[in-house]
Amino acid sequence: MTDARHEVLYEVTDHVATITLNAPERMNTISGPMLDELSERLLEADRARDVRCVVLTGSGRAFCAGLDLQAQMASQSGSLGGLGSLDSNPGEFDLRNAPPIVLHQLDTPTICALNGGAAGYGLDIALGCDIRVAADTAKLNPGFAKRGILPESGGTWLLPRMVGYAKAAEIAFTGRTLTATEAHELGLVNHVVPAADLHERVTVLAHEIAENAPLAVRAIKRMMRAAETETFEQNVHHVFLQLLPLMRTNDFKEGVAAFMEKRSPNFTGR
C-alpha cells in the first residue's frame, strides 16, 4: 500500500518493502515527523512476515540532503535527528527509536537506492543500509565539518569500518563531496548504474535476496552484525546456536529437497 498523505511512503510488492522519502521540493531533507515515520515504517517492514528485503530510496532528484535544519531550528523542540532537542540536557537524549539505531538493528536486509545526492544525515542513513546501489548522477556529501558539527547518526562508527581509518579520516576531515564513481572505488557503494536503470537494477537485486530462505538470511545478518563485537571463536559458537533451529524449519527441508531434485526452492519463511 502507498499512503500519499505522508512524507514517507511505504509499499510492499513481491516480498520487497520500498520506503520512499517523499519531500522532493526540499530534496527530501528530513523533518521531525519524517524521522518518526521513517522509524515506524522500518519497524513495520521488519515485523512483516511477508517482507524479505527493504529498499530505501528518495523521490525527485535527491536521496536525502540531510536534516531540514530550517524547520529544526524554528521548532520549539529543535530536534536533532531524533536524538533529542537543542535545549535538552545530555542525559535526556533518547536514541532507541532514532532511524539510524532502528536501521542498524533490523534483521531484514536493506538496500539503499541512491537516486541522487546524499548529504549529512542522509549520508549516514545510506551508510546504515546493508547494500548501496547508486545512480551515476548521485553524489555523497560528508560535509559535517563544514557545518561545524559531526556525523551524529552513525557515520563515525560506520565509515572507518567500510573504508579503513585513514581513508575515513580524509573523507570526514575534508568534507569533500564524492561522486558515485569515487564512492564505488572506495567501497562505499556496491554498484553504480545509469540513473534510468536504478529502479530496475535494485528491484532485481532485492528479488534475488527475497527468493532465498528468509529465516536464514535474517540469521546471517544477525551473525554478521554480532561479529562486529565478537571474537572469531565466540561468533562460531553463536552461529552454531543459530543453525540448530534453522535445521528444524520447513525451509531447510525445502532447500535440501530442491537441491537434490535440481529445481528452484519455494521458501515460505517457516
Q: What pLDDT does 68 receive?
A: 80
Q: Does 179 share its domain with 234?
A: no
Element (DSSP H or E) covering residue 253: helix 250-260
- Looking at the fold, whether 235 and 203 belong to one and the same domain comes out as no
pLDDT in tens, 44-68: 999 999 999 999 999 999 999 998 8
CA distance 70 to 239: 46
CATH number for the domain harbouring residue 26: 3.90.226.10
Question: pLDDT higher for 82 or 224?
Answer: 224
Q: Are residues 128 and 253 in the same domain?
A: no
Q: pLDDT of 114-151, one tens digit each?
A: 999 999 999 999 999 999 999 999 999 998 888 888 88
State the average pLDDT for the chain: 90
129 in the same domain as 43: yes
The label of the residue with cell 534483521 reads 107
Q: Are 77 and 32 in contact (CB under 8 A)?
A: yes
Same-domain status, 96 and 131? yes
The verdict on residue 57 lying in a domain is yes
For residues 35 and 126, give the distance between their C-alpha atoms in angstroms, rounded to a whole number: 14
Number of other residues whose CB lies within 10 A of the CB of residue 202: 26
Indicate whether 77 and 143 sit together in one domain. yes
Facing residues of 113 across strands?
133
The three three-digit cell numbers of residue 180, written as one number:
558515485
Gap between the terminal Cα atoms of the chain: 24
Structural domain harbouring 253 = 214-260
Burial class (CB in 10 A: 0-12, 13-18, 19+), 157: middle
Domain match, 198 and 222 both: no
Residues 59 and 166 in one domain: yes
Cell numbers of 170, please? 580524509
Q: Is 269 a domain residue?
A: no
Question: What's this model's pTM, rounded to 2 decimal places?
Answer: 0.89
Among 59, 51, 61, which Cα is nearest to 109's? 51
Query: Looking at the 3D structure of the chain, how many domains does it have?
Result: 2
266 in a structural domain: no
Residue 267 is assigned to a structural domain of this protein? no
Residues 94 and 113 in one domain: yes
